[in-house]
């Protein structure tokens, strides 16, 4: 499934946006199990459990829903960012 999505995204970027992806740099991973390094940032997902009391009934639609059980975590390399700001004369 992940490879199919990658191929579809690659085709869209190539055909519509005229952008080529570097196949050597593409990595398919399960972000809940492993952090992803993107442009120097570490991206991960933190999941949490929900209880039955958190399920809410949406009025007028008759639909039951629950809150999202995942949060995206983006970690920035603060030391590197600060050094870059100092080198550029901003700090």
Q: Is the pLDDT of residue 67 over 80?
A: no
Q: What is the mean pLDDT of residues 45-57?
A: 68
State the CB neighbour count (10 A cutoff) for residue 66.
Answer: 11
Q: Is the pLDDT of residue 59 over 70?
A: no
Burial of 19 (0-12, 13-18, 19+ CB in 10 A): exposed
Tell me the pTM. 0.52
């Amino acid at each position: 499934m992940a490879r199919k999505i990658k191929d579809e995204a690659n085709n869209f970027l190539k055909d519509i946006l005229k952008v080529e992806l570097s196949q050597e740099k593409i990595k398919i991973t399960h972000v809940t199990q492993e952090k992803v390094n993107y442009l120097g940032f570490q991206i991960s997902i933190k999941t949490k459990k929900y209880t039955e009391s958190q399920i809410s009934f949406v009025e007028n639609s008759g639909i039951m829903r629950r809150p999202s059980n995942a949060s995206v975590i983006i970690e920035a390399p603060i030391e590197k960012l600060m050094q870059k700001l100092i080198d550029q004369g901003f700090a």
